[in-house]
Structure 1
Amino acid sequence: MEAFRHTHSSVDASPLCWVSDHTGFSGTIKDSAIDFVVTEIDVRGQLVSKAGVGCDLDTCSVECEQEKSHPSRNKRLKKPEKSPENLSGWPNHDRLEDAKVVHDEVDQIAVCSLSESAANSSSMPVSEAQGGTLDLLLGSSVAQALEKFASSAKERRPAAGQGAVDEATLSLGTFQEKSQRAAIHLAVRQKFPFLKTVTNNAEIQARPDPQYSELCHLVSEKEADGLFSFLDSKDTSSKFTFQRDGNKEHRKAVHHFVSKYFGKLVETKSFSEQGGGSRHGAVITVRFRDKVTSSRKRNANDCQAVPATYTAFTLRKANMETLEAIACLASELGVVPSDFSYAGIKDKKAVTSQTMVVKNVTIDRLQAKRLSIQSKGLKVYNLRAVTQHLQVGQLKGNHFSIIIRNIRKHQEDEPEASLTDRVFEAIKKVKEKGFVNYYGPQRFGLGQNVQADQIGLALLEEKLVKAVHLFFTPEEGNDPVNKAKRHFINTEDAKGTLALMPEYKTRERLVLRALNRYGINQEGCSRAWLSLPHSMRILYIHSYCSKVWNEAASFRLKTYDLKVVEGDLVACNNLERDLSSQNNQQVHIVTAEDLESNIYSINQVVLPMPGNNIQYPCNKLTLWYQEAFARDGLKACKFRIPALQLNVPGCYRRLLAQPQDLVYQWLEDCILATGESKQPRGTGDSLSLSFSLSSSCYATVCLREIMKCNV
């Protein structure tokens, strides 16, 4: 099989495969965090670092420390050496300049100003911010039809006493994802308050809102818009006030209207104008009701009557794990880590920007904590109110701006070969053929004595005590964390270990507190794992499933090469994202007739992540998966762990991945300070790479295919 060469990886026992047969080159990645910049791409295809508001320059403390250690990071772009041929569809010089700007911004450690973000968020009408999203959410043709429908509905609105509102409806289309439907509901309501949207079997329909029309018979259209926007904001710290009204009967009618339709959600009260007395009229103030504090268990209707506040923001971090950053934010804001949601985990040794949502924290409260959050080496900006948590996988992908240093040929390469030719050939091949969509080493815990997939396997076997001991297995070294872990392994003294464990090790301390309270038996360890947020517990299970997927991918490629074969699973659509939310109805088993028709390509082939609700391929991979589970003691595993409240339905992942907008640029060698003098690094040329990947794809795996070496 000439298309593949194999290399052993420390990630698992299975050799990993190449897609292309180019030679590649060597180099160093992640020389520092600022060499690896990751920016999340939201579901609309927009970089989250640029979403919504303008930015100005501000300095993050962690990044400042990096700048001190690398004072001469400013790089000058060299003119690219002449390429042997022109690539079809190769981005033009403007795109290369864009890539330069990205790196220049990183080198200057430019981050967005929170104060300007909050100012813009408060001054810009929500309808203006939401209205521009309808084209992206619905498509231009449906958005235009909605505009016409809204205009017509407004003209047909009945006058007071003329009967019911027009029952005309407009279908906006069918949307399978709940998060997408929620975004559409919000965007339509914010732009057209006089319309309401309803969902029927995933189809969203718009129709005139009779409640809005009824309110417009009592107050001005501006006030009606204001009340509905206030209700949609769900900001429990804010209030809404109607205009001063001297007619008591009219005020009574307004009170009655609000109570009739929104009484479980808000309460109203009239206030006389200060110093004016009741004869000058009064204003009606609307506020959200306080939370129910009684000890009785609330039913679903009670819970819906007190909506939570959700604030979305962009988080920028450097040299910090996502979960560690969440722990810092939770501590500063006085909430628990499980109140935060995110679309995906980002690299630790990198400068990353991603969207997060926090529950029951208002924009004002988050803004007030700006300086203390910044002191932890984090930056939050692009603040805005949203209606619900983020879901894992709720993103289109990530954009990467990477510098590879010390570029050189492989030792075994031909002496007369040109390094420029090697780089150009590698970029061209990966643009054309892509790479095997392996999970990257950071998914497993690179370089650790015990990797995350081993803990995940113990959890799936329901060996919870063993999983705890694996969790606390120390690494080499005598730092405080390893001292504490070593103490636990030697003594099983949870209380003593807790005293030794540093405050910033949030996960370890949560587990230790539970072990100290409930003991280190099966039940105590179950309580300990339950003390971690669900997103943390499930990560270990996903890590094991990812290891199995990597091994299955290698077996599939070594067995069948880059050919579609009978029994393969193929995606039934052209989605660019990972298929993590799709079910069995969205994959198809390739038949002999399909092969004769040649209707499927290798780019449509998917492999299952293990779970209890997925279809396995109907070829040699079926037996391979069975043997893999039997080898790991999971032959009878149902991928459910009731003791830990974990359910693993499984998902599908494309066998191959393709980088988008892949460009490169040579950089001149950098200068670093050594003691009192500045000396050349002497490490050769550096290369700037810029590309985007779909969600759940790993840049390090793409680089591995480009460079033809483990990175």
Structure 2
Amino acid sequence: MKEDSDVTNVPECFISDHEGFLGSIKNLIKDFVVTEIDINGQHVNTASETQTPACASSHKYNEASADSMENSHQSVFQEADDSGDCGADATVPSPCSFDLSVILGQAVSEELEQFVLTLKDENTAKQELSLGHFPDKHHRANVHRAVRHRFPFLMTVTIQPEIRVREDPDYRELSQLVSEDEAEDFFRFIDAKVRGSSYTFGPDDSKEHRTVVHHFLSRRFGKLVETKSFSDLGKTAITVRLREQGRPKKRTTEERKEEEVYTAFTLCKENLETLEAISYMAAALGVLPSDFTYAGIKDKRAITYQSMVVKKVSPQRLREKSAEFEKRGMRLSQILPVSEPLRLGRLQGNHFDLVVRDLRPHEAGDTHSSGGNSHTHLTALVKEAVENVKARGFVNYYGPQRFGTMQSVQSDHVGLALLKEDMVGAVRLFFTPEEGDDPQSQAKRHFMQTDNAKECLALMPSSKARERLMLRALNRYGTGPDGCAQAWLSLPHSTRVFYPHAYCSRVWNEAVAHRLTTLGHRVRRGDLVWMQEEQNKPGDTGDTGSPQIHVVTEQEEQEGVYTLGHVLLPMPGNTVKYPENSMGTWFKERLARDGLDNCRFRVSGLKLNLPGCYRPLLASPRNLRYQLNTPARGERGGRGDEKEAFGSSSMSDWQLNGATVGGKQDSLTLTLNFDLDSSCYATICLREIMKCDP
């Protein structure tokens, strides 16, 4: 086994020992086609128009993500990043859900930022700013929501079709009683109006002061909330609870009906990231990117099919926009009304149709000069490789997309800094520029050299939503530890948690390689497995918090009760149980090496909690078929003219009809068709087949 690659973070340790072969993927967009498999087992591009999509409210979380990530993390994390091999940062929901530069336009957004700074600096309460005229009512509604979310201390007023903004006097009064951060968080809590939710202010030892706060909250928000003082460990704080009858203020019947409209559709996109496609559709429809829900993220350099649901848009309106979307590489089909959004992770997996081009053996030499003999040898290599993985599966690594390919600083490095609560270090890692003079790298380089967030914001491309959100916060709060913490808090939770998850994924990849090289390919005492049903008895699982986890006994090892396919390895977190063999020691030492020996896997300042999860050591492709063909003839006559399927026939029945173009024999092309669970990467499956990075 070779050392871990600093580029991919994917160890070169395999489950099969065949020779493999060389080749390349994604030469053409059509070479990588990903089709989501919904919760009912249907390919989303072939489901019936009348079939209701699986949008049930409960869902199984799939570990990342994301991401990239063509995986959806099977874990107790509260987000997923299914992908079908998606891009490095694809594991997270859109960070521009409340990006005012998208909703208002860049110029007005910057004017609003300056207006807010003026309010803070000059301490004036009567200033007012016009955000412009918005004839479309959907656009107006989104302006109101986005401004309140970004600046909870502002209030928006509509004088149709103009929207004006001013400071909320209630916020000003509350901020004189509690801290500014507490006042902002309280107004976000009020604006969200999540039934049954609560908000607790910081400890307050003064009964007189608590009484003043109680009276203010009762006077201004008494119809919406109730307050009470609670004591814990000698400290008393005020907790505010939303009343059951609490409702948004003055919502009309029309607005309520609009909020309840959901439309499902299948999105086919080419050469677009999922979040890029959502941002464009949201702008065209006059809704927020956060109004779109989906089961998983899909790759950019591919043709992908996935289910989506959009809120507040009728099927008719969506159909009217379909022609406009098609010009941007998006095709919508199976458009129909549904009753609820789509939940992240609500899918069985993905179906892949892949083409690997320019096949050749690993050994050096002119593979084209020996004619049929070379093709015969290569064909034997391919058949052995694919059949091995078909029978034995592959090591279930997180793919390089999980960490960010070709980046100076990868996502797991940022995640480690966050877990160590080094907010400044994490920000500087995040803004480390790539080599080159593209606008994004120039902007990052300027920030690293000057520490001037405002100037960097002016240089940063408008498409870089995460970077712009963080820069706005850094401009407002400064670049010290507190300002950097506010910058991370400006991102959606699912975006923040992606980075620590990436670090944990890297540790998991290293762990599985160490497990295979030191303990071999047999199940050992102390390994973790899913508990068999007949063993599922109370008390068997200790305090792991997961009654399905079982520790393999010495007798079970000797009797061969379990196979390697049953073995699980934990993703580091605060609720997982570690193996009770040498791997348990390895995890402890590995985390200590990064300074996390006492890590609680919680970053309270960023509201991050990583409970961990259990991920199967092996994964297997299902419904695998494979074909060899010569691309010149096959592509001229339509793909498949000169291909032979040997996924279901013997090699003795297969003969290669080689073609020549310009006097040179064509290289072979391999077509693969298979299904993977949502926690698996197609590129990692290919890697096991080919014994190299495709």
CA distance in 2, matches of 1:373, 1:665: 34
Answer yes or no: is 1:655 the counterpart of 2:629.
Answer: no
Alignment partner, residue 698 of structure 1: 681
Question: Which among 470, 483, 488 is matched to residue 447 of structure 2?
Answer: 488
Preserved CA contact (<8 Å) 1:26 1:408: yes
Q: CA deviation at 1:693?
A: 0.6
Does 2:445 match 1:445? no
Aligned to 2:14: 18
Which amino acid is the alignment partner of residue 594 of structure 1? E
Indicate if the aligned counterparts of 1:14 and 1:554 stay in contact, CA closer than 8 A.
no
Matched, 1:641 2:606: no
Quote the Cα distance in structure 2 between the aligned partners of 1:338 and 1:466: 29
Q: Distance in 1 between matches of 2:662 and 2:260?
A: 57
Q: Offset at 1:485?
A: 1.5
Cα distance in structure 2, aligned partners of 1:680 and 1:358: 54
TM, length-normalised to structure 2: 0.62
Alpha-carbon displacement from aligned partner over 1:104-130 (angstroms, at most 9, x marks no partner): xxxxxxxxxxxxxxxxxxxx6xxxx45
Counterpart of 1:367 in structure 2: which amino acid? Answer: R
C-alpha distance in 2 between matches for 1:682 and 1:539: 47
| Code of the aligned partner of 1:650 | G
Q: Give the secondary-structure state (helix, strand or coil) at the position aligned to 2:624.
A: strand
Instruction: Say if 2:47 is the partner of 1:178.
Output: no
What is the DSSP-based 3-state SS (H/G/I as helix, E as strand, rest coil) of the residue aligned with 1:17?
coil
One-letter code aligned to 1:28: S
Q: Give, in whole Å, the separation in 1 of the partners of 2:59 and 2:261.
A: 17
For the residue of structure 1 that corresponds to 2:631, the secondary structure is: coil
Contact 1:317 1:351 in 2 (8 A): yes
Distance 1:375 1:497, change over 3 A: farther
Asked if residue 615 in structure 1 is aligned to residue 577 in structure 2, the reply is yes
Displacement of 1:505: 1.5
The alignment partner of 2:45 has SS state of helix
What are the within-5 Å matches in structure 2 for residues 169-568 of structure 1? Answer: 178-179=58-59, 296=224, 299-302=243-246, 308-411=260-363, 418-568=377-527
Q: 1:398-425: per-residue Cα shift (whole Å, max 9, x none)? A: 1111111101111259986711111111
- Equivalent position to 2:588, from 609, 621, 626: 626
Deviation string 1:261-315 (CA, Å, 9 cap, x unpaired) is xxxxxxxxxxxxxxxxxxxxxxxxxxxxxx99x9756534445996744433322
- Confirm whether residue 598 of structure 1 aligns to residue 560 of structure 2: yes
Distance 1:408 1:629 in 2: 40
Q: Distance in 1 between matches of 2:310 and 2:545?
A: 29
Q: Which deviates more from structure 2 when the two are superposed, residues 476-485 or residues 322-331?
A: 322-331
- Give the 3-state SS of the residue equivalent to 1:9 in structure 2: coil
Residues 620-652 of structure 1: per-residue CA shift (max 9 Å, x gap): 111111111111121221112222222211111
1:28 has 2:24 as partner:
yes
2:11–2:509: 8 Å Cα contact kept in structure 1? no
**Aligned-residue identity in percent:** 49
Structure 1 residues 682 and 34, CA, compared in 2 at 3 Å: closer, same or farther? farther
1:666 to 1:642, Cα distance in 2 relative to 1, 3 A: same
Question: Does the residue aligned with 1:48 lie in a helix, a strand or coil?
Answer: coil
Q: Distance in 2 between matches of 1:324 and 1:465?
A: 29
User: In the aligned structure 2, how far is the partner of 1:368 from the partner of 1:25?
Assistant: 48
After TM superposition, the score normalised by the length of structure 1 is 0.61
Structure 2 Cα separation of the partners of residues 312 and 681 of structure 1 = 50
For residues 315-372 of structure 1, the C-alpha deviation after alignment (integer angstroms, 9 at most, x for no partner) is 2222233333333333333343333333222222211122233344443443343344
Secondary structure, aligned partner of 2:685: helix
C-alpha contact (below 8 Å) 1:29/1:404 kept by paired residues: yes
Structure 1 unaligned regions, length at least 5:
54-123, 138-174, 181-235, 238-290, 575-581
1:173-227 deviations in Å (ceiling 9; x for gaps): xx9x8249xxxxxxxxxxxxxxxxxxxxxxxxxxxxxxxxxxxxxxxxxxxxxxx
CA contact (8 A) 1:440 1:701 kept: yes
**One-letter amino acid of the structure 2 residue matched with residue 26 of structure 1:** L
- The aligned length equals 471
Mean CA deviation greater in 562-571 or 644-653: 644-653
CA RMSD of aligned residues (A): 3.3
Amino acid of the structure 1 residue aligned with 2:353: S
- Contact 2:9–2:509 at 8 Å: present in 1 too? no
Find the partner of 1:48 among 44, 48, 52. 44
SS, match of residue 584 in structure 1: coil
- Separation (CA, whole Å) in 1 of partners of 2:663 and 2:261: 53
Would you say the 8 A contact 1:409–1:419 is kept in 2? yes
Contact 1:435 1:657 in 2 (8 A): yes
* CA gap 1:450/1:395 in 2 versus in 1, 3 angstroms: same
Query: CA shift at 1:613, angstroms?
Result: 1.5
Distance 1:530 1:40 in 2: 32
Alignment check: 8 A CA contact 1:9 1:710 kept: no
Q: Distance in 2 between matches of 1:518 and 1:636?
A: 30
Give the drift of 1:559.
1.1
Question: Aligned in 2, Cα 1:300/1:557: closer, same or farther, shift over 3 Å?
Answer: farther
Distance 1:558 1:500 in 2: 48
Residue 448 of structure 1 aligns to a residue whose secondary structure is coil
- 3-state secondary structure, aligned to 1:686: strand
Aligned-partner SS, 2:33: strand
Unpaired stretches in structure 2, ≥5 consecutive residues? 61-136, 139-191, 194-219, 226-241, 534-543, 637-660
Q: Please tell me whether the aligned partners of residues 612 and 650 of structure 1 are also in contact (alpha carbons under 8 angstroms).
A: yes
Other structure's SS at 1:22 match: coil
Assess if the C-alpha contact under 8 Å between 2:59 and 2:345 holds in 1.
no
Q: What is the Cα deviation at residue 682 of structure 1? A: 7.3
Q: Helix, strand or coil for the counterpart of 2:332?
A: strand
Q: Is the 8 A contact 1:670 1:680 kept in 2?
A: no
* SS of equivalent residue, structure 2 residue 496: helix
Contact residue 583 and residue 651 of structure 1 kept, 8 A = no
Equivalent residue letter for 1:299 = R
Q: What is the letter of the counterpart of residue 597 of structure 2? A: K
Mapping 1:124-163, distance limit 5 Å: 129=51
Aligned CA distance change for structure 1 residues 583 and 432 (closer, same or farther; 3 Å): farther
